[in-house]
């Protein structure tokens, strides 16, 4: 009896291993023709994120992060001219209060000068806290999250449409094909999102260090991003199960 039980368990183990091996082959190792221009367009559609300092972070066609800063043009005030110069460019000499020519300054001017000097006291800007520094980057991170969710939803919508079209036409459904095609696409999209996020965190850490704080204070932003990334994966899996 024991011998028969051992044989039965051995056969069951072989069947399980064979089944698992078959599934692994179809889902991981078998090659499928998953080329799709629409899917490629979704993945390669560039992220463009604006940082608090005006720097723009973009992922290029190769998945590399490119940072660019828009040139700042100093404002031009119309109607200004250099001191002591007339509108036609000729020098104008001042006249003192007693009518004599020269560049002397009247007592009234001296009073004005001394008053101006008193008002030019430099005010010190308070040092930003860790919280205010990180808060500056919240809109940037929310914008990244929004773009990532939009791209993922577009990808899922495309997968559902392809599945429905194949089913309606009576074509056999290959789950290995869908797994390889859309999980691979989601991974590519995730890699691009991660690259932009790394660029944003680099900016946060640089800002923290510049103000005398340790860059480790940015860790909770990283943890929050990873939690949301996991939520996106779970959402993708749930939507895929609903095909």
Question: What is the predicted pLDDT for the residue at 72?
Answer: 53
Measured distance CA(207)–CA(217) in Å, rounded: 11
pLDDT tens, position by position, 138-195: 999 999 999 999 998 898 899 889 889 988 999 888 888 888 888 888 888 999 999 9
Q: Are 144 and 49 in contact (CB under 8 A)?
A: yes
Is the confidence at residue 197, as pLDDT, over 70?
yes
Predicted TM-score (pTM) above 0.85: no
Question: What is the predicted pLDDT for the residue at 84?
Answer: 47
Measured distance CA(124)–CA(57) in Å, rounded: 32
What residues have CB less than 8 Å from 54, skipping those under 6 apart?
A: 69, 70
Strands, E assignment, the chain: 48-50, 55-59, 65-69
| Nearest by Cα to 193 from 236, 143, 134 | 143
Q: Are 133 and 221 in contact (CB under 8 A)?
A: no
Is the confidence at residue 113, as pLDDT, over 90?
no
> DSSP secondary-structure letter at 57?
E
Task: Delimit the domains of the chain by residue range.
Answer: 1-30, 32-68+129-241
The CB density around residue 196, as the number of other CB atoms within 10 Å, is 22
103's tokens: 């560049």
Question: 62 versus 89: which is more confidently predicted?
Answer: 62
Strands of 48-50's sheet in order across = 48-50, 55-59, 65-69
Q: Are 140 and 50 in contact (CB under 8 A)?
A: yes
pLDDT tier for residue 76 given thresholds of 50, 70 and 90? low
Compute the average pLDDT of residues 183-212: 92
């Amino acid at each position: 009896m024991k011998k028969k039980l051992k044989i039965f368990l051995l056969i069951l183990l072989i069947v399980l291993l064979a089944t698992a091996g078959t599934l692994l082959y179809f889902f991981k190792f078998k090659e499928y023709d998953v080329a799709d221009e629409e899917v490629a367009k979704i993945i390669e559609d560039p992220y463009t994120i604006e940082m608090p300092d005006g720097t723009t972070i973009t992922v290029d066609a190769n998945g590399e992060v490119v940072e660019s800063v828009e040139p700042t043009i100093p404002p031009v005030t119309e109607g200004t001219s250099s001191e002591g110069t007339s509108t036609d460019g000729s020098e104008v000499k001042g006249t003192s209060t007693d009518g004599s020519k020269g560049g002397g300054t009247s007592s009234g001017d001296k009073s004005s000068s001394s008053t101006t000097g008193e008002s030019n006291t430099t005010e010190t800007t308070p040092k930003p806290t860790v919280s205010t520094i990180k808060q500056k980057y919240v809109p940037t991170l929310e914008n990244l999250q929004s773009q990532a969710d939009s791209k993922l939803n577009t990808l899922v919508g495309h997968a559902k449409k392809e599945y429905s079209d194949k089913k309606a036409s009576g074509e056999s459904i290959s789950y290995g094909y869908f797994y390889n095609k859309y999980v691979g696409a989601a991974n590519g999209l995730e890699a691009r999102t991660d690259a932009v996020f790394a660029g944003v965190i680099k900016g946060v850490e640089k800002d923290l260090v510049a103000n005398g704080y340790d860059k480790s204070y940015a860790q909770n932003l990283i943890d929050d991003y990873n939690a949301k990334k996991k939520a996106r994966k779970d959402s993708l899996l749930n939507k895929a199960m609903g095909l």
